[in-house]
Chains A and B, each alone.
Chain A
């Protein structure tokens, strides 16, 4: 018996349709897996923005870093990072309907995750060597029905693939997987833009539904996005959870690749980070009326970030025994992927000072999200 056959005998995972049994078995038991998961924060461990957003009637909320709940003007929802999770996980992204709605044409409800193009080059999309990929995830809902997994390629005019997945038992964690076909006609640029967007549609109006599953890659067809039956939001009893998201090359959903919190946090900070609570920095008076702070980002960010100040005056400028409170919100003077220069409006005349937040809820945030 060959080594491959021995390994095959060890596999306890059912192998899907593939022409390479040995490779599938190796994948199934995690051999040669390396850094297989192209999803960042798939276990929803990192939630710098949350943990909870209540009263949402429209817009986008990050229930975990890199995972966005998107709501198109339908009902009212709480979006949060939940501690309800399947065995082996500690967190999930959660949507909870607090006001039910009747679906209108343009309504939508989904979770989405964007992956940077440079992290997807192993898929070889757009070449004759394009590979299949598999997205797997754990989900749970308060009712049975099907949700629609939609994958799009932003570099190829949002070329699209969609497949429904059925939740068989209410209030029970179920692991699902979808094999995404190789796309020789697709495009994923080797750059820092979004190369692939995965979305989990759990409700949608006629603008985004009424069509059929689009199980081969093709032009974006809006009506093929939500063809499921789950309809989260039809009742205030409706809840939906998502975690354990993994995208890997191949046609087999292997075990989830767990990463440490610190490692996952650093990966997330490329897209967003928050300076929260005790921030202390040297500052310098530049023009009259301004103090200047230099903040080096913890990791090189994906793009020059957007800066936001949480507002309020919960910080103090110290200088030679005297203090001052900034007279307004901080703004950015210059910003790059590596460093940002923050300006604080202040009448403090001292030139060499330092600035400290004194509220645990005060924060600066930097965003370079996809």
Chain B
């Protein structure tokens, strides 16, 4: 039978295409049969959900923040190790920055 949209139960934007029914990544390529169905589904008046909800956007941003600050802590751990082994002080700027990084990680 011709293009049918009955099989589409959910659809949200994803990268350059759509995530359909929670499991199918459909590319925005009209020669793809599933894409043709999605385009017809949109033409019928339906609107794909946004790629991310506000909560997901916030969670993704926090994850990036966590990763950035964790990387900074990892890269400056050697100051702490040196202090423990040789008693040479950690520079004050490093200590302050590490405290800021720890506080930013949730």
Contact = CB atoms under 8 A, between A and B. Distances in A.
A288 B33 CA distance: 33
Interface stretch (A20-28, A244-252, A325-333): A325-333
B16 A288 contact: no
B25 A332 contact: yes
Interface in A309-341: 309, 311, 329, 331-335
A331 B66 contact: no
Contacts of A302: 31
B27 A369 contact: no
A331 B14 contact: yes
A287 B66 CA distance: 12
A304 interface: yes
Interface string B12-29: 001111010011111101
Given A59-B7, A72-B1, A368-B32, A329 B66 contact: no
B25 A306 contact: yes
Contact of A307 (B25, B60, B67): B25
Contacts of A72: 1
Nearest to B18: A306
Nearest to B14: A331
B34 A306 contact: yes
Contacts of A70: 1
A329 B34 CA distance: 19
Nearest to A158: B2
B14 A306 contact: no
A334 B23 contact: no
A367 interface: yes
Contacts of A59: 7
B106 to A, nearest CB: 13
Given A304-B31, A368-B32, 8 more contacts: A59-B7, A288-B66, A304-B29, A329-B22, A331-B14, A331-B25, A332-B14, A335-B17
Interface of A: 59, 70, 72, 108, 158, 192-193, 287-289, 302-309, 311, 329, 331-335, 349, 367-370
Interface of B: 1-2, 7, 14-17, 19, 22-27, 29, 31-35, 60, 63-64, 66-67, 70
7 residue pairs, one from A and one from B, having the closest CB atoms: A332-B25, A288-B67, A304-B29, A304-B27, A303-B31, A307-B25, A306-B34
